[in-house]
Structure 1
Amino acid sequence: MMAQQVTHYEGPIPDPETLNRYEQIVPGTAERIIAMAEKEQSHRHEIESTVVSAQTSDVRDERKAEARGQWFALVFCTMAIAAGTYSIHAGHPGWGVVLCGATLASVVGIFITRRNGKNDSPPNHTAEPTPTEQAESEQQ
């Protein structure tokens, strides 16, 4: 019969017994392993901070672009309705009705599809794990 002992630990730093054995074999190894773990943790925090900052910036840019688009749409609709009204008063009721009607129909259509959720596109942020979550899953 044969006996086998298996030791398992999780994380960048081994259990105290193993760490002590490393230290006995090569003096200073325990300190180097702990320093390496601290450096790795600092690096992970830096990466997470960078990712969060980038995501925040992306959301801010998306909101600005959406607001800009709404202003452009307002200006365009106002100009189209003004042109349609002018066409009606200038003796071209057909063109005026088409301009005003198409503009109003487009705006109403956009509001209806937005309200029903048909035009809601999913955010382009992926559901990827953070660097820390990824590292933790690799350790398991």
Structure 2
Amino acid sequence: MTSSDLPEPVEETAAVPAATEHLSVKRFETTFSGPLPPPSDLAAYGQISPDLVERIVTASEQEREHRHRMDLEQSRRDSYGLVAGFAVAVLFLLVAAWLINGGREVAGVILGTVDLVALTAVFVLGRHSDDP
């Protein structure tokens, strides 16, 4: 290869500063908690449709009533569970006493002990639930 085959050298130029652009992004976010949006949002909904605000408020009231009914039903179910658990525990103790009285002391003592240990475990450890 000869020097005539090589490309011409490029003259060095002064460094040109790169043009910079600044881009700003502003983000506005509003949040609310509760069954109803803020009054300003409700007013905006009212401008879209006159009956929209009333429908939103009615839906919120119905949701509240439904939630109260569900909470009451859950409370009743919990109470029934406590009563049923107590009845089973008393029944086991009565059967244990009957077995002991009938001459089967070992079986009665084992049944009574298991019953009392189970009751104690429930009260000491408590009831673990996945409910929030």
What TM-score range do you get, normalising by the shorter chain?
0.5 to 0.7
- Larger Rg, first or second structure (1 or 2): 2
Task: Tell me, yes or no, if structure 1 residue 14 matches structure 2 residue 37.
Answer: yes
Is 2:98 aligned against 1:75? Answer: yes
CA distance in 2, matches of 1:31, 1:109: 62
TM-score by length of 2: 0.66
2:88 & 2:118 partners in 1: Cα distance?
20
Identity of aligned residues (%): 20
Q: What stretches of structure 2 of length at least 5 have no aligned partner?
A: 1-23
Give the alignment partner of residue 5 of structure 1, picking from 28, 49, 63. 28
Q: Which runs of 5+ in 1 are unaligned?
A: 82-102, 135-140
- Map of 2:51 onto structure 1: 28
User: Aligned AA for 1:59?
Assistant: L
Measured on the aligned residues, the alpha-carbon RMSD in Å equals: 3.2
Displacement over 6 Å in runs of 4+: none
The total of aligned residue pairs comes to 107
Distance 1:77 1:126, change over 3 A: same
Rounded Cα–Cα distance in structure 2 between residues aligned with 1:55 and 1:107: 30
Larger helix percent: 1
Q: Secondary structure at the match of 2:103?
A: helix
Question: TM-score, normalization: structure 1?
Answer: 0.62
The structure showing larger relative contact order (alpha-carbon pairs under 8 Å, at least 6 residues apart) is 1
Mapped pair 1:127 → 2:129? yes
